[in-house]
Every structure is written in structure tokens, then in C-alpha cells.
Amino acid sequence: MSEQIPNDPAGTTHQFQNFVAQGQQQPAKAAPGGNVGLIVGIVAVVAVVALLAVVLATMM
């Protein structure tokens, strides 16, 4: 149990202590390959732009 400090009428110290305790329980999650969708999207945009450039170049 956490003790609430009686000299803190707003309870901010108690809330901060709970926030810190939650942060220690939940380690940061770093998913490997989390940016795969972004990379695939960028490659797709580059491919479409290159295709348009080739089509427009052959029309002239």
C-alpha cells in the first residue's frame, strides 16, 4: 500500500508516486520491425513515381 502524504492536499505527490511505480512495472516495448509498413509504403510511392516518370517520358 502507498501512503498518502498528509501535507499534500492536492494529492499530486501520491499520484506521481503511482505514476513512477507504473512506469517501473511496464518496460518500454520495442517491437523489432515496427517500421516495416512505413518502409513498404515509401517503396510503393517511389515505384509509382518512377512508373509515372517512365510513362510520361515515353509519351514525348
Tell me: the pLDDT tens digits for 9-42?
A: 666 777 888 888 887 666 666 667 678 888 999 9
**What pTM, to 2 d.p., does this model score?**
0.46
Please determine, for residue 2, whether its predicted confidence score (pLDDT) is greater than 60.
no
pLDDT at 8 (0 to 100): 65
Distance CA 55, CA 60 (A): 9
Q: 14-18, 42-46, 49-53: lowest mean pLDDT where?
A: 14-18
pLDDT at 30 (0 to 100): 62
